[in-house]
Structure 1
């Protein structure tokens, strides 16, 4: 026992006591003593003295596992180590042992408690709470936990809070559980929509060979996998077919050699079908055909394109414009639709052929800027076919230089022709005849030789008949343009030529004229013929004024916006989130030609590189372009593709706004279920309805509590062996969430290592020590031995000073005693 002072420097104040004695020397002796005692007590209190004395150590509690999960060798090691540790600790303070399962240990403990009469006794939370209750209030004590950390529940949070608030240190020894037979430890069920394939991830633990898993929806077997071997922990993934909206109770059975060794029941919450607003421009009954193709996963609502400008687009997750021309969708409706995508997160799918993209007139429209493809109208250079009939004047007036010039003009004209054209040469003098009959222009040199053989002879009065002959020869030709080229010196006097030429021109045959030699009168006459024949007039006076008469003039015309035929598709590099949609589908029968955008994900292309499927993020939403009609002529070959409906449904779902209206989180602590609902879509501020659905179809409405704008919570009591089904709704929108019963509804299911308490973290959190082995625990000496305690005296000294001060006041005010004599 010893006395210590926290502030010994306060003792210097004792030097003031002699000064006080001198100042109060005339006072009564007793009063002087009382006042000196008051000041001395106050100075001693300021020094804050403490009395240190030894006492026995704080209480010790051992929580020890001896359940059947541990092997006999491990249980024996635990028994020996705990026996040695308890014997050593009893010298430091009282020891209590709480045993979980197994036969009672023979220990010399001050108190012994055995847990394990009921399955709930295996709760680690219950054991820790009992250990904390053993420690007296105000005594910190120490708890030693020798366990594998496995428990029938995970409700140890409150027990840990109690340990921290009391400042109780927990030492731990983590034991290795024995080898267990294979069992289903956990099942992860995602949030899915109606009709979607369901990925199911099953966590297995233990050991076994020749295992298989079967999944049942009621009495219907929906998936299976196996056989496989297991040694330790393993996660097995299965894919379940799409289910209609609502709740589905799934039962999983783990079998070996045909015998079920483990069961697990879980609930699957399937959301309502994805609402799709569908607008079609050309095809009757396309909405119903699309609904049959997509199945239950999408609810197709067909509307006329003109109504999109007034509809509530927020009620839908996606809008699909299928072969809708720009004329059917006003610019204001397009701007409203694009704004809903960019700002509200709406998904937009634009598809089609003859009435979409460039053929639909969307260039320079509000919608064109949001598309992940470039709308373009390519120009096609057309080299039209020509049928040419050359009429050469070989009358006597053409003798010499005029005929030579005419031959050269004719040769230059026919040299411009291609094998796709036709050509013929007619000469006239005293009569008319075909020097070269109408024929494909495949042998131009032969035609030139025929021209070279003509000779000037006879008169020119048969030009009229030659024109008729040329006209008749052109009538049977298949060419884009038909021409008659008249080469003459205009030495004719007939007045009936204008009427004939007008008739020829009305039959889409043009007449051009070339004057070689001749007079001014002849020049006026042939110029009039060319004008009436809708052709051209040329004058050739000598070889220096020769002209090349090119009747083949290439034309620019818009290239067809839709290509028809069989087109093999190739996949581009898979983009994020599109890996299941980029496998090349069957050949396409037709598509609209567009250009690609550098920032878009082009997923499918033709062999020539034209985009067929492209998508990109546009603000808060996504826009996808499919350059064909999903239920029309362009995709006719896809209707025999077994995976077409699922492929198209996933395409729409990937584009749509997939955010739920509410993010619903369920948590279970023992029998108490907590519900947290956070608004995700919509800007409403109303209170949602919360329904708890029972197994038998009953329902219970809960009162949500607003914690923040759009955030609501509720709690409800549900037995841990019952599943939880909750619906959160507002108006017609419903979001479902489910929580399976504890341990999958199987009370005999072995404890999972995933549910184990992290013992080393518990030691670090409470300031205890984590031992690697039970042998280390046995070798550890006593923690405290004889514990020292401190008693603070400054408070008592303050009370003493107060009492002395009151005694001084009482002495001064006490009436003086009178002796009997004085009376």
Structure 2
């Protein structure tokens, strides 16, 4: 036992003196009060028990960055398994992996480690963040140790301060170094090229190639996937310079790629990833417009080219939308193209590019555009000047929809932190319910190997709790049985009152089983006016994709495929739009030109123009209306607005297709479209005289400087300039970062923009009182993880181990012997206080009644009596009354006449004790004394 606050023992001195002077009523009360005060003092001193030692926690940190050698994941897993094999009962082990982020792969309460399951990136090594997380997983005042499986190379934060924290907590950091062999390395050390040039300007590109030994290499330089230069060259140890010359042609972005490799196969390169370097050069001026269309003979492109607007036509089904690709253009035209072709990430990239860099967007109408094209609630809808909601006043009929959801085991796969495929399917289904009117009928069936009715078929106004039931649908085992799903949905729709009946079948394109006699069933559905659409989660080439396509074709509905679960809400909404209301108005009419047309065209366009058909949308309050329909809807035909830095214009009519003829014959259609395209492109912004913006690529960041004229007569407006930067990779959501510029000198401001991996960075400089300036895109030659020149990871690991009193671990089996142990200290002050309360209650009971003393006295007397009775006594003599000693006992005497008498010696003992008071007398005397005390 220990006293954690022994200072309170000083109270024993005055307490002892008080008890010495205090008049004692009884010994029992004195002992009770003494015990209460003594326990109270011990509680104040925080008495604690020292129990046997508890085993500590071992945290294993695995480095999964790109700088690690090939096969490092396998080596790390073997190390972790070896440690777990010798782990003793009571020990706790935690596994953390890190690169761009640090995540927990296995907690101390989990079972055995089975492999890495999280995504941590690879373009960075955030060692400091991983060490912080490891320390947080070891409870304070508890023993622990850390094992680091890494090459020791780190980015974004020095790990030494975290090692000092570990040392203060007596937590040692051990390591096992896993690193690449650095001999015979061939690497592109750096590339020097201008960040931006003017059209027609010649410029020089200089590359420095580093090699450890003399060797012959081959090199090749590409620009926009076209080879510009190549050949062979002999290198000497150290830096070797390569120089190239090129000429800027048209405004846009040039993407260069330089590759080198050794011709000697006997000299393998330990880090081949740094043999390829990528860099970008921006060409200033008016960039072309990208037209994303489905028609190779686009009328729109012909009209724009006739209006002297350079246009790049893109008709391919797939488009790798990226910031690097978009940086080549000043705007994008989306002409009657479904949202599925752009994809969720593509639309997110376009939306960020328009808002944050000042680019333009023009969208035209058709049956593949706007709501019918799947743009409702898409990432592009918020930046459009028109909305696409389904207003109930424009509904012509009621409908009944049954959603058959796949909830097989594959739907449990995670897609976001905390969300699964099933969660997104539930959100999509709930959105269908939002699009329906109160008189529409709705039902949901969850299907695995059998159907499960989640929401019975009812009118929407009668099922207020339907959304809650939908959101609680969980993924189960097995696969989806197609025939069971269709049969259950058809049986549900038979009782529907609406004339339009529809089934939305959602299934995994690679796990749709048991189609059964679906052809016969769908044939009967045609006669019952029941249509079927299919949304397949997967690719059109998956195993069961043909089956799903055939179901949609025979069911008279649409078929969608997506491999991105985030696109499911759009596809569900798109199918519901087509069914609930055809938002494309096919009747020819006239569009009325408003005063807002001057904003777009800058000239007089007349009063009206013919229109063959248009997508029914609604004008947003802040948008400018340039043309409006003359029918009952009074819907916007041309609308425009400013979406943060970018300009967006919507033309809801169709320009290519069966509804184009009316406007195409209008004599001013070319002028209108050319003016609208010029408006979204905007102007090329220039800095005032004397100001220059420069970009310089350094390892890990982009240094942007704003040079001011030393001879300027006025200072910058109030407020510091700032920079908005977009970072992104193809197929990834762009990340937006805002950075404030700081003064480096009286005439120079700067900002350091972090760069990671091979992503493209687009920066826009905001100077108070001036138009934002978009800079040329930049990127690193390759991931900083592959830049191993001059970096000694083993030295870093040894330094961290010295700080924390750790060591290099060659024998992992002995790890647990060095994990520190610490005795457990269990405070018992609360139990002592509980004892004080119990004793205090006994003290009150004794002081008021005296019953405890009487019970103790009675117990003592009884004990003494029993002890006396246990002694050996003489036999009892028998006398007959009325007879002399020795006279015979006659039979005539009855037993009642016989009595038992004690022997003469007993009579003598009785006479001696006759004057001693008995137990009853003692109790009566005690009662009298108690009454006196109470008086």
Quickly name the TM-score band, shorter chain normalised: 0.3 to 0.5
Report which of the two has the higher share of strand. Answer: 1
Q: TM-score, normalised by structure 1?
A: 0.36
Q: TM-score, normalised by structure 2?
A: 0.33
| The structure with more radius of gyration | 1
